[in-house]
Amino acid sequence: MGIGYATLTYDPESIVTEGIGDLAACGYDGVEIGLPKIREIGRDRLVTVLDEHDIDLYCVMAGWLNEEADVREAVDGINVAADLGANFLGILPPPRGVVDDATFGEWLDDIGRAAADNNVTPVIHHHAGAHVEQPDEIQRWLDDGPTELQLLFDTGHYYAYGDVTDGIERFADNIAYVHYKDIAPPSDFDIHVENLSSGKVDYDSIMTYFGAFTDLGNGVLDFSRITRALDEINYDGHRTVEVDTVDGPTLVHAKRNLDSLRDAAERSAMSR
């Protein structure tokens, strides 16, 4: 098991010039990087920097599946992940209402076949306002999708639809990769969740929902309980911190989140 950091708040150049080095200095073991950023950085340059700082690439995150071209890019992303030694390709399902179930199922099958040939696990990222969002939708696509498909369980995105620890227990057999993500919902949060879940294009709801995500420890999630729940299902995979926005140097946020995660792990161990 390793602790990773998703490089959302770094641009491609800063990932290699400062980000990976900063994250290694903080004490992270691995990183998650989006496929478009990897393409811009270049394979050889990225490998050199990862090796220099003894950091693993845990997951390559493909882009949103909006059309056939995105599926082809994700399929090729399997090859990229395999070449770089990443265990996972993250799949962002299309926004709600973009495609029908039959088409989405075919897309997942295409990705699954490529993954089977390359020893990479495709992980579906349940996501607010997306085709795979609520617990029953997660279950449906784990059941109906290709056998290679596993779950990227995101604590922040699960919060709106039930107790996070209940979700961990429910999907224990399929959780292959985890995002540690905190959330500080505003008082009218439920209204915005309903808007996104219904497929309503409401930019106020989009901004409110995604603006609620915050550093670990600044929101409502109890990561000592979450850590204990993962331990109780014998999850021994990577736990990657995901922070969407920062209000200062990313290094400061990365260190703060790692400290919070370690504190949660200590409190979890003490409560047993």
Closest CA to 180 of 222, 106, 241: 241
Q: What domains lie within the chain, and their CATH numbers?
A: 3-270 (3.20.20.150)
Please provide residue 123's backbone torsions phi and psi, each rounded to the nearest 5 degrees.
Answer: -120, 125
Q: How far is it, in rounded angstroms, from Cα 172 to Cα 153?
A: 10
Closest CA to 23 of 2, 42, 43: 2
What is the DSSP pairing of strand 88-92 with strand 121-125? parallel
Region 178-189: mean pLDDT is 92
Q: How far is it, in rounded angstroms, from Cα 204 to Cα 25?
A: 38
- Global pTM reads 0.94
Confidence class for position 202, pLDDT limits 50, 70, 90: low
Look at residue 192 in the predicted model and tell me its pLDDT: 78
Look at residue 166 in the predicted model and tell me its pLDDT: 98
